Structure 1
């Protein structure tokens, strides 16, 4: 990748226009993101990442917290544009004065340029200072009428790679109820009603990823019936989560210890979903019992 160009996006615009949502969207698109980098470090930072194979997409937020940037904007932008290793764009987020005032009142935050004055004073001054940068921006997005989900979609449409169909990812996770529910789970399914391989000595120290346990768990009629119902439930609703702008959906499947039944079910579900979706499979408690035994 040292011979290919790095895609660089500088995200800027009016305070309250959605830069936080924007930078989160770029992160979901696989960009390396930094919020409020000191302007003096930008050229050096870009020089360093140009020497690395780890970064091909970078998004930097610069706003009125970095006031020095705007006094040196032309010099810094000239350095960036002259860098042959960069594909460079500026994303400028804007909104009407009335909408910005409404958002500040809703969050009860003060405008960074308002000091002890009115919010409108800060907005007016910021708009004047940002006018030259807005005129240089290749992408100007008015977020007045956009919800956060719509803004994420706008950014995805404009900045996702050609051929990149979706940023939606499914995390299939197995766990043990005895160790607590996964805090990041969106959907939780309980398979503790199924026959438990733990009570078979030859299977006790294996996991649901081992063929004897997997075959035992899935070989029961009730296991197959439940799995088919689970798959039939999930397949129609997954597009809805994607449509609503969710970047990661975590499906958690639990049994008592997270070693046998839930692991087998999570593995099968992940394998079946991979034909249509980007899926990551993990097993939180698969080896926890063995670790506990070894410590005793």
Structure 2
């Protein structure tokens, strides 16, 4: 019995500065036909991608990821390297000017994910 060949998915990883527009970019990718997930822990990415490979209708996936997850910095490069062995992976790092980030956090009144009281230090 033949083992089915694993499908190669087109995978986009959106990351960057908090407030730089990851959610907006993720929504745009979703509107373009990507299956999108935001804030999935890096430890679950491999399992999620494996599940997507078993779903023929899913050919393009995108993840929104940032430093809110404690192990993000430690696990990110290993996760990306493992994905690149089997799939096409693009990483998009979003950034914005400091004054734009400060304005966005003030407008939304949401706390910065790093939790500093001084917004400039957090950014």
Deviations 1:57-83 (A, max 9, x none): 101111122231211122111111112
1:97 corresponding residue in structure 2:
98
How far apart, in 1, do the equivalents of 2:7 and 2:46 lie? 18
Is 2:76 aligned against 1:78?
A: no
Deviations 1:163-220 (A, max 9, x none): xxxxxxxxxxxxxxxxxxxxxxxxxxxxxxxxxxxxxxxxxxxxxxxxxxxxxxxxxx
Higher relative contact order (CA 8 A, sep 6+): 2
> What SS does structure 1 have at the residue aligned with 2:51?
helix
How far did 1:48 drift?
2.1
Once the two structures are superposed, the pairs formed by residues 105-120 of structure 1 within 5 Å of their partners are 105-115=106-116, 117-120=117-120
Which of residues 18, 29, 32 in structure 2 aligns to 1:29? 32
Q: Is the 8 A contact 1:101 1:119 kept in 2?
A: yes
- Per the TM alignment, residue 7 of structure 1 is displaced from its structure 2 partner at its CA by 0.8
CA RMSD of aligned residues (A): 1.5
Question: Could you tell me how far apart the structure 2 residues matched to 1:95 and 1:59 are?
Answer: 21
Q: Tell me if structure 1 keeps the 8 A contact 2:7–2:53.
A: no
Residue in 2 that maps onto 1:203: none
- Point out where structure 2 has 5 or more consecutive residues left out of the alignment: none
1:8 is paired with a residue of what secondary structure? Answer: strand
2:8 counterpart residue number? 5
- For residues 37 and 84 of structure 2, what CA distance do their matches in structure 1 show? 19
Q: Which structure 1 residue ranges, 5 or more long, are not aligned?
A: 124-296
Give TM-score, length-normalised by structure 2: 0.88
Using the alignment, how far apart are the partners of 1:107 and 1:41 within structure 2?
A: 29
| Structure 2 partner of 1:121 | 121
Q: Distance in 2 between matches of 1:122 and 1:29?
A: 32
Aligned residues: 119
